[in-house]
Copies of this chain bind each other. A is one copy, B any other.
């Protein structure tokens, strides 16, 4: 089977000038690779007719699927549609289906539908509309001589939704793609190099058609197994067998599979047990409760939290004693214990977690440098704590310590149950 090849073209002068980082082409490349489609080219060009026409011609020479993002907005600098119309000799016409969808989008939101918005429904006459459920600019699917041009909006969340829900199903319908299976195993609480040492023997035994990649992130490492073959069910069985072996080697570090997040795993475990959670955050500033509430249905087990940024809030709203704060300071084991226990009591939950640290860039001392973070998890049987030194910039300190306290919570729930299978 001949492998399908694809090009990804992102349009927008702001990408060339470096004003924005092009994450769209990575997203598209990643999804296409998983489907066994070979991306041979990524290109960005500005909002310029000649440059767009020229790169379209080049992409058409090297690939059979051409993905284009950006330049679909209603303003004058958005010229992707005009260029595709010219390139494919398919004149712009009012597309009734697009008009209906765009006007419905405005109507639903009670927004006035102006002339400039109507123009968004003018498409090359051979274009098939790809519905944009997240915005106003319709996507387009255009074919010529067996090659396909797929034009999507540049706004990342609109493009992501359109690609996953509309474009990829259409590609799978049209083409037979080879069998490539990916499986992610989610680990937490162990660094990449230690993990690699622990599983070196297992890794060495993998057959050639199953490869392993380490994908490190915030305090977590994803292991990706990629298998290639002709027989889907046999390949699936082989991969499952390897994962079973892996789970026996490092049971205490695996919390899930296939992109499950720590907050989702924590939610599953709490729901299973009918238990509840609250949060008392200082340095993480609400980021932990944000992560927890990204999970649909989290209101079933997450009662709420306090962001106690100022010390007065720590005493007034969490009942931490002024003596503790004065004697040990806000960034101390004693304080995070009182925060977690006070929060658990006030919010009447089974678990409560807390964080207090110095996110920087200022506020550090020789004893407590920037990046020092204390965290605690309280439950009915007591309170456990951990200290981290995370010498990152402010944002990364917030994100690392948020993950770290969730790992502590997950380990606590896991230990009590004795299994996380």
A residues neighboring B (CB under 8 Å): 13-23, 25-31, 33, 39-48, 51, 54-55, 58, 62, 73-75, 77, 108-111, 114, 116-117, 134, 155, 157, 161, 182, 184, 191-193, 196-197, 211-216, 224, 226, 279, 281, 284-290, 292-294, 296-299, 302-310, 312-313, 316-317, 346-348, 359-362, 389, 391-396, 398
Q: Which 3 A-B pairs have the closest CB atoms?
A: A18-B30, A285-B293, A286-B286
Is there contact, CB below 8 Å, between A307 and B285? Answer: no
Is there contact, CB below 8 Å, between A21 and B21? Answer: yes
Bound Cα distance A249, B212 (Å): 58
Is there contact, CB below 8 Å, between B389 and A109? Answer: yes
User: A116 contacts which of B54, B77, B197 (Cβ < 8 Å)?
Assistant: B197
Is there contact, CB below 8 Å, between A192 and B74? Answer: yes
Residue of A284, A286, A303, A308 most packed against chain B (CB within 10 A) = A286
Contacts of A109 in B (CB 8 A): 389, 391
Contacts of A213 in B (CB 8 A): 13-14, 19, 47, 77
Bound Cα distance A192, B73 (Å): 9
A-side interface mostly: mixed
Contacts of A43 in B (CB 8 A): 41-44
Is there contact, CB below 8 Å, between B51 and A45? Answer: no
Instruction: Please name 18 further chain A to chain B contacts, defined as beta carbons within 8 Å, in addition to the given A77-B211, A281-B286, sorted by A numbering.
Output: A15-B42, A16-B29, A16-B39, A18-B30, A22-B25, A39-B46, A41-B45, A43-B44, A47-B213, A108-B389, A114-B193, A114-B197, A285-B293, A285-B298, A293-B359, A294-B394, A303-B312, A304-B309
Number of identical protomers: 2
Bound Cα distance A27, B19 (Å): 10
Is there contact, CB below 8 Å, between B13 and A296? Answer: no
Q: Give chain B nearest CB distance to A232 CB in angstroms.
A: 18
Bound Cα distance A31, B18 (Å): 8
Bound Cα distance A391, B149 (Å): 29
Bound Cα distance A21, B23 (Å): 7
Is there contact, CB below 8 Å, between A73 and B214? Answer: yes
Q: Give chain B nearest CB distance to A87 CB in angstroms.
A: 16
Is there contact, CB below 8 Å, between B117 and A297? Answer: no
Contacts of A134 in B (CB 8 A): 392-393, 396
Contacts of A347 in B (CB 8 A): 313, 317
Using CB atoms, name the residue of chain B closest to A292: B285
Bound Cα distance A97, B109 (Å): 66
Contacts of A58 in B (CB 8 A): 58
Is there contact, CB below 8 Å, between B14 and A21? Answer: no
Using CB atoms, name the residue of chain B closest to A310: B303
Supposing A197-B114, A290-B290 touch, asked if A30 and B51 sit within 8 A by C-beta, the answer is no
Bound Cα distance A134, B397 (Å): 11
Q: Give chain B nearest CB distance to A29 CB in angstroms.
A: 4
Is there contact, CB below 8 Å, between B303 and A304? Answer: no
Is there contact, CB below 8 Å, between A308 and B304? Answer: yes
Contacts of A286 in B (CB 8 A): 279, 281, 286-290, 293, 305, 307
Is there contact, CB below 8 Å, between A304 and B317? Answer: yes
Q: Give chain B nearest CB distance to A294 CB in angstroms.
A: 6
Is there contact, CB below 8 Å, between B317 and A309? Answer: no
Bound Cα distance A303, B307 (Å): 8
